[in-house]
Structure 1
Amino acid sequence: MAKIVPFQAVRPTRDKVCLVTCRSYEEYVNAELAAQLDFNPLSFLHILKPAYTNQETVSFEKRYRQVHQKYQEFKNEIILIKDKKPAIYIHKIVTKTHSFTGIIVGTSVEDYCNNVIKKHEDIIAFRVRLLKEYMQHAEFNTEPVLMTYPDNKTIENWIFNCCQKLADFEFSTTKKEIHYLWKIEDTLEINWLQNIFEKTESLYIADGHHRTEALKMLSLENKDVQNTSKNHILSYLISENNVKIYEFNRLIKDLNGLSKHDFIKALENNFIIENKYQQPFQPLEKHHFGMYLDTEFYSLILRKEKDEINSSLESLDTQILYKKVLLPLLGIEDLRNDERIEYLSGKQSVLEVKNKIDQGEFEVGFLLFPSNIEEIKALAHENQIMPPKSTFIEPKFRSGLVIYEF
C-alpha cells in the first residue's frame, strides 16, 4: 500500500520561474554553466554553486552551508516563496518528441524500507553519504525521485481534467521544452488521490536511487526528532506507459590485445555476425546487438543455443553483453570504474558512436536495444540489480521548480 502526502512547496514567483529553474547541475558543460552564472542572477544554479562568484575551492561542508545561505537569500528577496497550504502538484513537460505528465508528492521512507517502493539499481555508498550531508545542511531537496505506478485510467482521467484549467506556471526553456504546473490543494481531492494510491501495491524507482537512499539515511538519523518532513521523499509519480527509456551504448578503447580477426572469431562462439559495412545499424529487438569496428557496422544476434537465461538479470542485453563479450574477451570487470569503457545515451545518434571511434578515441562500440518497464519491474521484484548504465530514463526534472524543505 503506497502512501503519498501533500506538502508546502517553495516555488519561484510566477514572473521569475523561467529564469530561476535550471537543468540538473551535472548536465551543464563548463562554458554553459559559466554563461548562466555570469548573466542570469536569478538562476537556481547560484544556489547549487554558491562559491562561483569568488572562484573558491571549499570543503564539502562549507559549500553545503553556502548553499543553505544562498537559498535563504533567494527567499528573502522574494525570488522563492512558500505555499501557504499543503498541496500536491501536477507537472507536464512537452518536448519536441514526447509529452510527460506526473504528480509531485511526498512518498514514504517507511514504504521504501518495507520494499513497497522498489529499486533496481545499485548505489555507491560514498555518493549516498555526500547527498545525505548536502541535504542535511541545505535543508531542502529540489530533485524529485522519478517513480512509476501501474497504469490507472481513473488517475489518468483526473489528471486530464486538472490540466484543462489554467496552469499556475507555463514557461519554455532554451531546450525548447514547455513546462506546466498545476497546484491541487483541495483537501477532498487530495484525500481521494491518497485513497487510490493506498490500493497501489508498489511504486518503482525509475531514476533517483542515490537520492532515495540518502533520504532514508537522513530519516533514520533523525527518527527521534519531531520533524516528519524528513520521513518523506520528494517524488514525481508517473504512469508506467508515460516514461521513455533509452539505452546506453558502450564505447571501448581497445580490444584487450586481440587482433580484429581474432576478436570477431571469438564473438562467433556466441553470436551470428553479419557485416553491414558502412550502413549504420541499430538493433530492433532484444538479444540483437550492433557493433562498429574499423569503419564498419556489424549485426550480432545471440545464438539460441547460447541463450542460457534463468532470471530477469540474465535476460538483460546489458548483462548478456557483459558476460559474453566485455568480461571474457575485453577484460572489463568493473563496468563503473574501468577507464577503458565509456557510455553514450541512446538519445544521441548512432553516428556519434561512429565519429568517436573514427577519431581514434575508441576502438569498438556496441549498440544495444533499450530495456522496457517490465524488465525493470521484474528485476525489482526479484531483488536483482541492473548493471551500471543500463537505462537513461525520461522525463528529467528541472531544479528550482518545486522545492521540498526539511
Structure 2
Amino acid sequence: MTQIRAFQPRVVTAEHAGSVVGPAYDSMTPDERRNFRAANPQNYINVMRSVDDFPAGERPTEEQLLQENIDQLGQLLASGAYRQCDQDSFFIYQLSVDGHSQTGIVAEIPVGEYRNGLVRKHEETRKEHEERLGRYLDSVGATSSPICLAYEGTNVIDSVVEEFLNCKPALDFDLPDGVQQRLWQVSDPATLDKLVKGFADIRYTYLTDGHHRAASTLHHAASRHAQGKGEGPWDYLLTVLFPASELRVLPFNRCVKDLGELTPETFLRNLESDFTVETMPQDQATLPSRQGQFLMLMKGCAATVTLRSQPQDPSPVKNLDVAILQDRILAPVLGIEDARKDPRLDYVTGDSGIAGLMQRVREGWQLSIACYPTSMGELMAVADASEVMPPKSTCFDPKPRSGLFVRMS
C-alpha cells in the first residue's frame, strides 16, 4: 500500500521558472557546476552547494557552506520567485525531450515506507554522504529535489492524469538543455481522494533516482524528533511517482584507458569463447540492438560482440548485461576487478551515442564499450530480490529538476 499525502509547498512562479529551476546537476562536473552558478546567480543550484564543488585548497568548512546556502535560500525566497500554496495539493509534473514524455504525480509519502521496504531500492548508499545530506536538511531546512519513484500504472491514476493533460498547465517552460517542464496543481478534494485511493492499491514503488536523498531523510527525521518535535514534513519523502512504462532508461556505457598487454586483435580473440565477434569499419558500427550484445570501439576498428548463451542465474543481478560485461570481459580479460574505483575505467551516459564513445577513443582511451540499456523489469527484479546493481547500471533521462518546489522542514 502506497500512502500519498497532499502538501502545501512553495512553487516557483511562471515569471522566474526559466531562471530558477536547476539543471541536471548530478550529471555535471564540479567545474561545470561552478561555471553555471557564476553565470546564473538566481538559479536554485546556488542553494545546494557542497564542499566537493570547490577545488582542493579553496574549500570552505561545512559550517560556512551551510550558512551560505541558508543565505542564498533566504535571498531567493525574498525575491518573489516562489508563491506559497494555501491548499493541500498534489501536482502533475510532465517532462518532455526528444519526442519522449513522462508524467508523474508529485506527492509526499511516509518515510516509513522507505524504512520498511515498501519503497524498493537497487543501489548501495554511502553512510558519510547520507549524513552530510541529513545535516544539510537539519540546517537549511529545504527540500526541493523530488525523489523519483516508479510504479505499475493503473487505469484509475491514468484517467486523472489524462483529464489534467487536456487543461492549461500552471507552468509550461523549456530549460536550456531542451527539457520541457509542465506542471498542473491538483487541489480539488474529490480528485485528491481519487488519487489517494488509486495509490493505495499499489503495493510497492521502486526508487529510480535519489537513493541518498531518501536515506538522508531518515537522519533528518531522527534529528527533528531528538529535538522534541512531533510529526512534521521531516517524516515524509518529497517524491514524484512515474508509471514505470513511461520512464526512459539509457545505458551507461564504459570506456577503458588501456588494454594492458593486449592488442585490439588479441583482445577480441579472448572474447570468442563466450561471445560471437563481428568486426566492421567504424563508420558502419551500430549500437547494440538486444540484450547480451555490446559494441566495442577501438582505434581503427569496431566489433559487435554477442553473448553465445544468455545466463539463467537465480540472482537477477548476474543476468544483467552490465554484470556480464564485468564478469566476463572487464575482470578476466582486462584485469579491472573493482568497477567503482579502478582508474582505468570510466563511464559515459548513453545520450552521447557512438559519437561520444568515439570522442573518448580520440582522447586516448583505448576501448569504448556501448551497452544495451537495463530494462525497468530487470531493475524491479533486482529490487524485489533485495539485491544491489553494479555501479552505473542505469541512466534515467530526463530527471526531475530542483527548484520547482521548496518544502521547508
- Determine if the TM-score, normalized by the shorter chain, exceeds 0.5: yes
Contact 1:247 1:370 in 2 (8 A): yes
CA RMSD of aligned residues (A): 2.2
SS in 2 for 1:348: helix
Q: Give 1:184 deviation, angstroms.
A: 1.1
Cα gap change, 1:71 to 1:318, in 2 (>3 Å): same
Does 2:96 match 1:91? Answer: no
1:284 to 281, 285, 289: 289
Q: Give 1:29 deviation, angstroms.
A: 5.6
Does 2:279 match 1:275? Answer: yes
Contact 2:118 2:203 in 1 (8 A): yes
Task: Return the alpha-carbon distance in structure 1 between the equivalents of residues 140 and 36 of structure 2.
Answer: 22
2:355 is aligned to 351
2:109 is aligned to 107
Contact 1:50 1:70 in 2 (8 A): no
1:403 is aligned to 406
Contact 2:154 2:198 in 1 (8 A): no
| Cα deviation digits, residues 154-202 of structure 1 (max 9, x gap) | 2111101012222111112222332111111222321221111111110
- Segments of 5+ residues of structure 1 without an aligned counterpart are none
1:148 to 144, 147, 150: 150
Q: Give 1:129 deviation, angstroms.
A: 1.9
Contact 1:280 1:351 in 2 (8 A): no
Does 2:266 match 1:262? Answer: yes
1:295 is aligned to 300
Cα gap change, 1:301 to 1:37, in 2 (>3 Å): closer
2:13 is aligned to 13
Residue 238 of structure 1 aligns with an amino acid whose one-letter code is F
2:391 to 377, 383, 388: 388
2:325 is aligned to 321
Contact 1:50 1:66 in 2 (8 A): no
Cα gap change, 1:268 to 1:39, in 2 (>3 Å): closer
Task: Return the alpha-carbon distance in structure 1 between the equivalents of residues 179 and 352 of structure 2.
Answer: 18
TM-score in terms of structure 2 length? 0.92
SS in 1 for 2:169: coil
Contact 1:292 1:366 in 2 (8 A): yes
Contact 1:281 1:298 in 2 (8 A): no
1:372 is aligned to 375
Contact 2:120 2:205 in 1 (8 A): yes
SS in 1 for 2:253: strand
For residues 296-311 of structure 1, what are the structure 2 equivalents within 5 Å?
A: 296-304=301-309, 307=311, 309-311=313-315
| Cα deviation digits, residues 43-89 of structure 1 (max 9, x gap) | 2233234999xx97311222122212221222223222321222111
Cα gap change, 1:307 to 1:26, in 2 (>3 Å): closer
Residue 336 of structure 1 aligns with an amino acid whose one-letter code is R
1:248 is aligned to 252
TM-score in terms of structure 1 length? 0.93
SS in 2 for 1:403: strand
Identity of aligned residues (%): 24
SS in 2 for 1:107: strand
Q: Give 1:131 deviation, angstroms.
A: 1.5
Q: Give 1:319 deviation, angstroms.
A: 0.3
Task: Return the alpha-carbon distance in structure 2 between the equivalents of residues 34 and 127 of structure 1.
Answer: 20
Residue 256 of structure 1 aligns with an amino acid whose one-letter code is G
Residue 156 of structure 2 aligns with an amino acid whose one-letter code is T
| Cα deviation digits, residues 371-401 of structure 1 (max 9, x gap) | 1111011001111111000110123122111
Cα gap change, 1:266 to 1:135, in 2 (>3 Å): same
Q: Give 1:11 deviation, angstroms.
A: 1.8
For residues 156-235 of structure 1, what are the structure 2 equivalents within 5 Å?
A: 156-223=158-225, 225-235=229-239
- Segments of 5+ residues of structure 2 without an aligned counterpart are none
SS in 2 for 1:166: coil
Q: Give 1:300 deviation, angstroms.
A: 1.0
Which segment is superposed worse, 338-347 or 92-101? 92-101
Task: Return the alpha-carbon distance in structure 1 between the equivalents of residues 5 and 257 of structure 2.
Answer: 48
Q: Give 1:219 deviation, angstroms.
A: 2.0
| Cα deviation digits, residues 87-136 of structure 1 (max 9, x gap) | 11111122132111111001121111111110111222222222112222
Contact 2:93 2:106 in 1 (8 A): yes
Task: Return the alpha-carbon distance in structure 2 between the equivalents of residues 110 and 264 of structure 1.
Answer: 49
